[in-house]
Structure 1
Amino acid sequence: MAGSLLESFFLIFSGAALLATLAMFTRQPLLVAYILLGVLLGPYGLGWVGDVALLAQISSIGIVLLLFLIGLDMQPQALWRVLREASVVTLVSSLLFATLSAAAALLAGFTATEAAVVGAAMMFSSTIIGIKLLPTTALHHRRSGEMMVGLLLLQDFLAIFVLIVLFSSQAGTIEWRQIGVSLLGLPLLLAVTLAAVRWLLLPLLKRFDRIGEYIFLLAIGWCFAAAETAELLGLSREIGAFLAGISIATSPIAQFIALSLKPLRDFFLILFFFSLGGGFNIGLLDQVIVPALLLAALVLVAKPLIFRALLRRQSESPALAWDLGFRLGQSSEFALLIAYVAAASGLIGELASHYIQAAAIITFLLSSYIVVFNFPNPMAVSERLRRD
């Protein structure tokens, strides 16, 4: 297993370096190169990297670290204000996206149940792509970064609720008790993290702040401890990691921790995008490509327009409304998880599952192009737009 995993890492990172170099010369987004490499080397392509499921599990570490680093740079007062302002936009936009996507699935010939799952899957935007392509200065210090984090976090809460319902459907009944536990889990987790930071973490950080290795280890341990606690409370690991970051954001050593963890985060995010491409069965593509393209086009057009309209009603500036609309104008990683869970429970068939996956991946690719070539971002090939 060790040899196989090391060989997979060799193929992934050597191949990613090669394709990334070609992407830079041809002025293409690097995210696209990682996804295409997964399609090429994965089990449905050349088959050189077979255990994509294992890589997907490993790559989820990158998402946890990403949310932890975001929390490190967000003050609790600012987060609370943004969540209140973003709640109406999130609820209304999610309802509209679900309705439009479900209608598209019905027109494509899927059953009413499958259409409902498609609608639920396409409600959300990608946390990874949205934040990965947002300049660091905007993410940490500007209104656009605050609003994006608020919208994505509220979408995560909705996605968790959808997943709880889907998991419950495997047993034939909705587990209302589990839903109640999850709703109560957030304030409980917040109280536990704040207490642990005040009475345990901050004293340790203050006493040993000159030993970089210890600070790095303590930060990693705290991030994953909060993530696993959130999972036990019926929330997601990502939410736990985010709260872990917020809980120590006021510490003077927070920026040192963020700089230390950034390379580790990028390592795992490359694995994430590779596993995204590698997990798609291209053998079924000819059966779903046309309706998937239509659904992806609907998402790519509707999301920027709807987000812009709703954000303008919130008195946001036209420039900010357009910027956020396009940055959130794709499907989410949750769409892939929802498709998998719904297919495993028998709610949808294999074609419907791949319909969701194909549409989501198409939106990932095209939305990345739109942002990379038109808005300031860290991965822009144009010097005029490159910001980090």
Structure 2
Amino acid sequence: MPHETSLLQAAVVFLLAAVVAVPLAKRLQLGAVLGYLAAGVLIGPSLLGLIDDPQSVSHISELGVVLLLFIIGLELSPRRLWVMRKSVFGAGLAQVLLTGLLIAGVAFWGFQQALNTALVLGLGLALSSTAFGLQLLAERKELTSPHGRQAFAILLFQDIAAIPLIAVIPLLGAANAASAGGIEPLLKVLGSISLVIVGGRYLLRPVFRIVAKTQLQEVSTATALLVVIGTAWLMELAGISMALGAFLAGMLLADSEYRHELESQIEPFKGLLLGLFFISVGMSADIGLLLREPLLILGFTALLIALKLPLLWLVGRLIGDLERRSTLRLGVVLAAGGEFAFVVFKMAHEQGLFEARLHDQLVLVITLSMALTPLLVLALMRLSKPQVVPQVVPEEYQNIDSDAPRVIISGMGRMGQIITRVLRAQRVPFVALDTAVEAIEFSRNLGSMPIFYGDPLRPEILRAAKVDQAEFFIIATDDPQTNLQTAELVRRLYPHIKIIARVRNRQHVHRLLDLGAVPIRETFYSSLEMSRQALLGLGLSEEQAGARIRRFQRHDEAVLEAQHQVHNDLSAVVQTAREARAELETLFDADVIEERGVK
């Protein structure tokens, strides 16, 4: 019972630390990984000491890395690798080899480390954090940017390269080397890998097919976990990394029909256990060592970033074909150490390659480098704000020259283009304004159209467009705030003109109604048509579906008008919406009864 109580207490401590630290770190734009690391440092023996023995959770937390590698294996189908071959095997291979050899050389010649130790140290520090880097890019919406795609390719190769590195550490280790008997360990490794490959190819799919027929979600989840943990256990028995077995299992199932189901089942466990892994890393960080040797630890951290960043810049520039600003962002995101380095260095320590003090120093250096990355990214964003390149506007686009227009249109996006086509076909004289040269050029290429460059928020542009002679001013831009400001200016300068404005939502409608404009909801009519098509597909006739949609439209417009009278009172708006929902159901029910009576 005491053991059970301590286990529950540890679980509460871990969950509470994660719940507090991770949202706080994300709010500060530092990323979830840094939040987990900070939580581990806080509850570990170095500070509060809520958990005295970090090793007690290390074996469970390592399953997070195992599951991460299984997910990576699932995503690495041969076809995908072939499409990304240049970025993955070009830039990725160059980055790992160049960085690994450089750091290994510094460790070997500069710090007199043994050759095996220097190689493991160099290749381990060449790896960056996949979880940290991709999350940082995703939070900043940069995954699809040029440097984001290049970072993903390099991280992908690093994840692949981590597998043989993890597998070869026992062969390089002093403890294993002392007990090695010829080629027996190598044969044991090759035999285990062959068993996983053969079993995965001929057994996994039939097993999943049988389990799928049971239609029991819990059995399917248990089977997925059995495959991952079972292959990891087999590899551990062979004396190599558990992660290698999980990665191979994922690769073997990458092209199977069960891939997406497996990923969805494993993902929650992976996220939770990977978070536990980062917490355990933070717990093992020796803060006392940082306080005793601050210059040494901070110097090693700066040296790591100083060695990796220029090589990343070189690879991104020469192989990735990135421009300078994107290359610098790539370097900053990937210059820190990564989660696989924790795994590699822990194994190296257990195999006698690293002394305890060196291992503790490396854990601190990697943790600090990851902590510095978000700060470096923020600093880079402020220092390298993209310069706004002024648009080159041809002279003919700026000279607004037309006869007296009956309609002025602001905005030549999708809605503006349709409006101009209708007016042109009806031979209604109009003038269209836009601030995007590309939109003007595209519209003019379709025919001789009176479309000009001009900001409708500038009174002199409105005068040049002869708004005073027009009957209608149509605002079709996709920015609600710009639409409101334009409507306010036009209403103040030209009170006689009728304004028709594109609106985003009901709150936008109320503000434009206050200005006397006619609001047109940008998605309302298309949503009505989609609803009509759905009703037809559900068995209603054309007449019935049309009647329901017309009923809904009239009812919604009446409700909107009623809500406009109380739109400054939120409780009244909510109450009106509830009453309207019930009323609409009653009206639809009455229509059904009437239709049955007619029949």
Q: Which amino acid letter does the alignment assign opposite residue 165 of structure 1? A: L
SS in 1 for 2:255: coil
| Counterparts in 2 of 1:179 and 1:127: CA distance versus 1, 3 Å | farther
Q: Which amino acid letter does the alignment assign opposite residue 165 of structure 2? A: L
Q: Matched residues in 2 for 1:151 and 1:226: separation?
A: 22
1:113 paired with 2:118, answer: no
2:359 matched residue in structure 1: 353
| Counterparts in 2 of 1:30 and 1:174: CA distance versus 1, 3 Å | farther
Structure 2 spans left out of the alignment, 5+ residues = 382-599
Q: Matched residues in 1 for 2:228 and 2:347: separation?
A: 26
Per-residue deviation, 1:95: 4.3
| Counterparts in 2 of 1:112 and 1:176: CA distance versus 1, 3 Å | farther
Q: Matched residues in 2 for 1:344 and 1:66: separation?
A: 22
| Counterparts in 2 of 1:20 and 1:288: CA distance versus 1, 3 Å | same
| Structure 2 counterpart of 1:248, from 219, 233, 253 | 253
| Counterparts in 2 of 1:186 and 1:366: CA distance versus 1, 3 Å | farther
Structure with higher helix content? 1
Q: Which amino acid letter does the alignment assign opposite residue 365 of structure 1? A: A
Once the two structures are superposed, residues 243-273 of structure 1 have per-residue CA deviations (whole angstroms, 9 ceiling, x without a partner) of 3223333344432332233222221122111
Give the conservation status (yes or no) of the 8 Å contact 2:25–2:31. yes
1:279 paired with 2:281, answer: no
SS in 1 for 2:222: helix
2:53 matched residue in structure 1: 51
Q: Which amino acid letter does the alignment assign opposite residue 357 of structure 1? A: V
1:296 matched residue in structure 2: 301
Q: Matched residues in 2 for 1:6 and 1:275: separation?
A: 17
Per-residue deviation, 1:27: 3.9
Q: Matched residues in 2 for 1:151 and 1:165: separation?
A: 20
Percent identity of equivalent pairs: 25
2:38 matched residue in structure 1: 36
Per-residue deviation, 1:12: 1.7
Per-residue deviation, 1:120: 5.0
TM-score by length of 2: 0.53
Per-residue deviation, 1:88: 5.8
1:363 paired with 2:331, answer: no
Per-residue deviation, 1:177: 4.4
2:493 matched residue in structure 1: none
Q: Matched residues in 2 for 1:157 and 1:275: separation?
A: 24
Q: Matched residues in 2 for 1:213 and 1:34: separation?
A: 29
| Structure 1 counterpart of 2:202, from 195, 201, 208 | 195
SS in 2 for 1:63: helix
SS in 1 for 2:79: helix
Give the conservation status (yes or no) of the 8 Å contact 1:228–1:237. yes
Give the conservation status (yes or no) of the 8 Å contact 2:66–2:246. yes
Q: Matched residues in 2 for 1:290 and 1:247: separation?
A: 47
Per-residue deviation, 1:279: 0.6
Root-mean-square deviation (CA, aligned residues, Å) is 3.8
Per-residue deviation, 1:47: 1.2
2:231 matched residue in structure 1: 226
1:236 matched residue in structure 2: 241
1:166 paired with 2:168, answer: no
1:156 matched residue in structure 2: 163
| Counterparts in 2 of 1:347 and 1:255: CA distance versus 1, 3 Å | closer
Q: Which amino acid letter does the alignment assign opposite residue 238 of structure 1? A: A
Deviates more, 1:10-19 or 1:78-87: 78-87
Q: Matched residues in 1 for 2:332 and 2:186: separation?
A: 32
* CA radius of gyration, larger in: 2
Once the two structures are superposed, residues 343-378 of structure 1 have per-residue CA deviations (whole angstroms, 9 ceiling, x without a partner) of 556655443232222211112222355568989xxx
Once the two structures are superposed, residues 191-213 of structure 1 have per-residue CA deviations (whole angstroms, 9 ceiling, x without a partner) of 33122224433x225523x3322
Structure 1 spans left out of the alignment, 5+ residues = 376-388
Once the two structures are superposed, residues 73-94 of structure 1 have per-residue CA deviations (whole angstroms, 9 ceiling, x without a partner) of 3323323665786456555544
| Counterparts in 2 of 1:356 and 1:238: CA distance versus 1, 3 Å | same
How many residue pairs match? The answer is 371
| Counterparts in 2 of 1:219 and 1:80: CA distance versus 1, 3 Å | farther
SS in 2 for 1:112: coil
Give the conservation status (yes or no) of the 8 Å contact 2:90–2:319. no
| Structure 2 counterpart of 1:330, from 325, 336, 352 | 336
1:122 paired with 2:125, answer: yes
Q: Matched residues in 2 for 1:218 and 1:315: separation?
A: 41
SS in 1 for 2:126: coil
Q: Matched residues in 2 for 1:235 and 1:355: separation?
A: 25
Q: Matched residues in 2 for 1:148 and 1:5: separation?
A: 36
Q: Matched residues in 1 for 2:277 and 2:266: separation?
A: 17
Give the conservation status (yes or no) of the 8 Å contact 1:124–1:159. no
| Counterparts in 2 of 1:244 and 1:119: CA distance versus 1, 3 Å | closer
Structure with higher strand content? 2
Per-residue deviation, 1:165: 0.5
2:69 matched residue in structure 1: 67
Give the conservation status (yes or no) of the 8 Å contact 1:90–1:154. no
Give the conservation status (yes or no) of the 8 Å contact 1:134–1:145. no
2:24 matched residue in structure 1: 22
Give the conservation status (yes or no) of the 8 Å contact 2:108–2:114. no
1:97 paired with 2:80, answer: no
SS in 2 for 1:122: helix
2:531 matched residue in structure 1: none
Per-residue deviation, 1:10: 0.7
Per-residue deviation, 1:132: 4.9
Give the conservation status (yes or no) of the 8 Å contact 2:232–2:243. yes
Q: Matched residues in 1 for 2:150 and 2:104: separation?
A: 32
1:379 matched residue in structure 2: none
SS in 1 for 2:178: coil
Q: Matched residues in 1 for 2:108 and 2:293: separation?
A: 14
Once the two structures are superposed, residues 205-253 of structure 1 have per-residue CA deviations (whole angstroms, 9 ceiling, x without a partner) of 5523x33222212211122122223334454222322232233333444
1:305 paired with 2:310, answer: yes
SS in 2 for 1:43: coil
- Structure ranking higher on relative contact order (CA contacts 8 Å, 6+ apart): 1
Q: Matched residues in 1 for 2:164 and 2:259: separation?
A: 26
Q: Matched residues in 1 for 2:156 and 2:328: separation?
A: 16
Q: Matched residues in 1 for 2:49 and 2:70: separation?
A: 34
| Counterparts in 2 of 1:187 and 1:151: CA distance versus 1, 3 Å | farther
Once the two structures are superposed, residues 34-88 of structure 1 have per-residue CA deviations (whole angstroms, 9 ceiling, x without a partner) of 2122112112222111121122221112112222223333323323665786456
Deviates more, 1:332-341 or 1:273-282: 332-341
Q: Which amino acid letter does the alignment assign opposite residue 367 of structure 2? A: I
Give the conservation status (yes or no) of the 8 Å contact 1:300–1:367. no
Per-residue deviation, 1:276: 0.8
Q: Which amino acid letter does the alignment assign opposite residue 35 of structure 1? A: L
Give the conservation status (yes or no) of the 8 Å contact 1:67–1:238. yes
